[in-house]
Structure 1
Amino acid sequence: MDNVKKDTIAKLIKEARLKKGYSQQQLADLAKLNLRSVQRIENAEVIPRTFNLNLLAQQLELDVEALQVLNKRFTETPIAVPQVEAKPVINKPRKLILSVTIGVLTILFTAAFLSQSSRFPETDFELFLLMSLVIAINAVVLWRIWKF
């Protein structure tokens, strides 16, 4: 169906251009399009975007509405959309705010725990172990937040 559409539009544009006596370069300049775009449309290599089609139709004094109907007629085919399981959506700003808040709270709670404990940590190893555990838990929580 796309080939029929491309051929039909290409034929209309080319005939109208030749009727006006324009070269492809002149039409491209008048419509403020690239020469290659006009060539590809006339050679039925592409289906022109509606915007470009309108520009060409205006310069060639073609019926813009008829071209738009033609353009839409060939593209109106039903598309099957697969059903996707809905996931909870948290937008990016909320994720950022939540992530920063969790990070700050993690630091504050860890500092509060360390300031209350007179015997913990006894060694640097215990401190690094605690920090590693806190970072790992924080990473899992943040991964769950950003996963969705």
Structure 2
Amino acid sequence: MAATHDKQPIAKLVKDCRAAKGYTQQELADLTHISLRSVQRIENGEVQPRLYTIRVLAEHLGFADQLGVPEEVLEEATPVPLPVAKGKYPLNTTQKIILSVGIALVVFLSTAAYIAQSAHFPETGFEWLVLLACITAGYMILLFRIWK
């Protein structure tokens, strides 16, 4: 129960400052890019927010001076990575590898199916090399887009 008690001062501070600014919880969430559920849980004292979250809330609600935390500590708070585009997060290395291998298998199987169904393709070594060059170029473009 002591842990919940420790969360109450920050919960009250956030709630009071938000009300004083005239923001709804949703408006505060939109303004700070903190989820509505997180704002609700902070204000209800259900969670102890991370230092970065406190910094963002303090910047928008103007209560940094009431925290009793040195300004240098708040400035050094590590930001949470934001999405690259709205609703899209960057792929991690494991996801990139899985996607790269999966695409390679699809390209290989598609090419094999195309060649198997065609009785006369490739007729020459040149056609075979052009096919391989086109497939390689397309695969490289896809990999570049995935891994950039």
- Structure 2 length-normalised TM: 0.43
Higher normalized contact order (CA 8 Å, seq sep 6+, divided by chain length):
1
Structure showing greater radius of gyration is 1
